[in-house]
Amino acid sequence: MKILLVEDDEVLIAVLTRHLTAQHFTVDVVKDGEMGWTYGSTFEYDLIVLDIVLPKLDGIRLCQRFRAEAYTTPILLLTSQNATTAKVSGLDAGADDYVVKPVDIPELIARIRALLRRSQVNSLPLLAWGELLLNPSTCEVSYNSHPLTLTNKEYELLELMLRDSQHLLSADEILDRLWSSDEFPSEATVRSHIRRLRHKLVSAGAPPDFIATVHGRGYCLKLQDSQLGCQTDLEPQLEPLNSPSAGSSDLDSEQQAQYLTFLNQLWITSKPRNLELLGTLFHFLKALQSGTFNHQVDRLQPQAQQTAHKLVGTLGTLGLTIEMQLARQVESLIGSNPPLSVQQIVILEALLIALEQAIQNTNSIERAPVNANSIDRSISVSAPDRSRIGTKVMIVDDDIECLRSMPQLLKPWGFKVTTLADPLEFWTVLQAMLPDVLVLDVNMPQINGFELCQALRNNLTWRRLPVLFLSAIADPNTQNLAFSFGADDYLCKPVVGVDLANRILNRLQRMSTWVE
């Protein structure tokens, strides 16, 4: 995604460019309003970030000019004035959103993502194509649960194709949209990136023509047989249950077809009900956004969480997997420790809008659901990477329940799991077990996870041991703190086996790349 930044403050330019590039955005920077107009009207951008106070032509007038000339590119204003008048004149001039300086970078990036989603045909927070999943929030990409390690350009290329999956993209178009205006790549560059991307996709199990070439015209994602529903390939792997007389697991295709027809009929009548449930979530969002009625938020929160929970169960059981995943993200966000931060509220809004659109746009159900338990089982059948079998994972957590569940959760991946509830025994067990990966809880009695992590990073023998935090604490400050103590990754509880296993595998893969 390509962003034009019109800003004259060098320090802010440096900070914003660094963060936006880290999020895989391509950034063009110009320092006055006239140049802003020249670039914005010459090149194609997905979004424009405009400072209000600019030399030659101020941000408000530049914004008006873009709109008057029928440029519809989303515009986000940066204003140092928190006064309502400045915001109102900015929005009236045609801006889509504004952020007040000093800029809170995570909030700005979340707002940019939300604006980009709104302007896309595909506005889901998670982008999917067959077995391919791309999460723009975390920049993680996986194919059939296998994580893919991509370069910046490969990631941007894939994201562009996923967001614009309805269109054939010519090499010229790709060059315009992914390279900044001061770079001069050729079509051969696009071809070589496509080639490398294809190679990585194939290594992860994708068909060779996942990205199809239409000779002389461009590239597009090819429709896969398994296009609708991420469980497609999992079904044949479901273990047959032992009771054929019951017929329930060896159901013949005719029964499944009838079941699907029934689900589709049911969807016609239950769609309005699901939208109605969503309405109560928007009501809760409104209360959060108004910010002043804390008692009202407190009153609505349990009901909102319950509603989101209902949606997870109902949408999933109807076979709407993507909608269920969105509802699950909503449920987990609403259930996080109150009060929700501004950034979390922005994410919640984006999720709700995406969920609403997904429900509205679903006119037919393509695939009946697979049982939740069966999904776990079938993923576990397909997921183990033979080279990782025997990887030693040590988990330190004072939550006994969590510890008990971990060996079971990670068993399908062939990890050797050792659990430890008492952090005082940490060094003894560490030396005895010599783990390949360490998973730490944050809050523990006597010694907390941060202290252990810091001690490891100061220890010559153990300083490179991959450390993943697994904690119920979801707030960004704690996560940042973990990284500042040397964490490699941070996951929030509750966690599902496949997520934890993927993060562990990811970390090991990066370690081995680094060692090579």
Partner 1 sequence: MPAKRVLIVDDEESIQTVVQFGIQMVADWSVLIASSGTQGIATALAERPDVILLDVMMPDMDGIATFKALQALPETAEIPVIFLTAKAQTSERRQFNDLGVSGVITKPFNSLDLPDQITKMLDW
| Rg for the chain, CA atoms, rounded | 25
470 contributes a contact to partner 1 by CB under 8 A: no
Shortest Å distance, C-beta 229 to partner 1: 12
Q: Which is nearer to partner 1, 157 or 370 (CB)?
A: 370
Chain positions 402 to 441 lying near partner 1, rule: CB under 8 A, are 402, 404-405, 408
CB-nearer residue toward partner 1: 1 or 444: 444
Residue choice 401, 445, 513, 516 for contact with partner 1 (CB under 8 A):
401
User: Which strand (E) or helix (H) includes residue 306?
Assistant: helix 294-317
Omega before 74 cis (within 30°)? no
Min CB(284)–partner 1 separation in Å: 15
The residue within the footprint of partner 1, chosen from 4, 197, 318, 379 (CB under 8 A), is 318
Cα separation, 76 vs 50, in Å, equals 6
State both tokens at 36. Answer: 């802003």
Q: How far is the CB of 344 from partner 1 (least distance, A)?
A: 21
Dihedral angle of Cα 12, 14, 17, 19, to the nearest 10 degrees: -80
Cα atoms found within 13 Å of the Cα of residue 73, Cβ hemisphere only: 28
Q: How many residues bind partner 1 (CB under 8 A)?
A: 43
Residue 233 is given by DSSP the state G
Tell the smallest beta-carbon distance from residue 371 to partner 1 (Å). Answer: 5
Report if residue 319 touches partner 1, rule: CB under 8 A: yes
Smallest gap from Cβ 342 to partner 1, in A, equals 28
Residue 258 interacts with partner 1 (CB under 8 A): yes or no? yes
Q: Give every CB contact of residue 63 below 8 A, 6+ residues apart in sequence.
A: 50, 75, 77, 90, 93, 94, 95
Q: Is residue 119 a contact point for partner 1 (CB under 8 A)? A: no
Residue of 84, 138, 166, 245 that binds partner 1 (CB under 8 A):
245
The residues in 283-312 that bind partner 1, with binding defined as CB under 8 A, are 306, 309-310, 312
Largest CA distance in the chain: 80
Looking only at the bridges linking them, the beta strands covering 218-221 and 211-214 are antiparallel
Binding mask 151-180 for partner 1 (x = CB under 8 A): ------------------------------
27/48 Cα distance (integer angstroms): 10
Pick the piece of the chain touching partner 1 (CB under 8 A) from 7-15, 112-120, 287-295, 368-376.
368-376
324 lies in the site for partner 1, by CB under 8 A: yes
Does 373 interact with partner 1 (rule: CB under 8 A)?
Answer: yes
Q: Applying CB under 8 A, which part among 23-31, 53-61, 251-259, 287-295 lies near partner 1?
A: 251-259
The smaller minimum CB distance to partner 1, of residues 35 and 281, is found at 281
| 316 lies in the site for partner 1, by CB under 8 A | yes
* By CB under 8 A, residue 473 contacts partner 1: no
Is residue 470 a contact partner of residue 353, using CB atoms and an 8 Å limit? no
Nearer to partner 1, 268 or 432 (CB): 268
Q: Transcribe 32-100 into DSSP letters.
A: SHHHHHHHHHHS--SEEEEESS-SSS-HHHHHHHHHHTT----EEEEES---HHHHHHHHHTT-SEEEE
Asked if 504 and 440 count as a contact pair (C-beta separation under 8 A), the reply is no
Q: Which is nearer to partner 1, 182 or 401 (CB)?
A: 401
In sequence order, which residues have a C-beta less than 8 Å from that of residue 166 and are 6 or more positions away? 121
> Which residues in this chain contact partner 1 in the complex, by CB under 8 A?
241, 243, 245-249, 251, 255-256, 258-259, 262-263, 266, 269-270, 273, 306, 309-310, 312-319, 324, 368-374, 401-402, 404-405, 408, 494
